[in-house]
Amino acid sequence: MVAVHVEALSAVPGFVGVLIAAIGLYGVMAHEVAGRIREIGIRIALGANSWDIMRTTIREAPEVAGLGVLAGIHASIVGDRLVEPLLYEVPTGDPITFAAASVLLAFAALIVALGPARRASRLDPVQSLRGE
């Protein structure tokens, strides 16, 4: 029989949560870029290079991720109070855990934002200004 550690079992839902958050952030960033196609096309037509477009797009990721992290911390503090009676010798409300999760999600936000930013930097200005 294979011995499974409790830490490994508790890491799986955490990984799934980060994966779901990253997928959601990717969707939000892709939607944001799609809504700004004309603006990005105008910037490229006026001479902005691909790094400028990527920088502008990636700069928005921490704002979106920060709002999500703040909402998540608030929800987890409320959830900690509800779950605390069910836990045995497990501390709740650990600030180090909240900080580590926040940093991990911020890092994931920057990585995930690279896809839509790269796509935005490769837009053809004529196509983006011509149709919607």
User: Hey, what's the torsion of the CAs at 121, 118, 111, 26, to 10 degrees?
Assistant: 100
pLDDT at 132: 55
Q: What is the pLDDT of residues 27-83, one digit of tens each?
A: 888 898 888 888 888 888 888 888 988 888 888 888 888 888 888 888 888 888 888
φ/ψ (deg, to 5) at 99 = -65, -45
Domain boundaries, the chain: 6-82+91-130
Q: What is the pLDDT of residues 95-125, one digit of tens each?
A: 887 888 888 888 888 888 888 888 888 888 8
pLDDT at 100: 86
The CA distances from residue 69 to 14, 43, 63, 104, 115, in Å, are 15, 31, 10, 10, 21
Task: Note whether 29 and 112 are within 8 A (CB).
Answer: yes
Distance CA 58, CA 65 (A): 11
Type of residue at 51: W
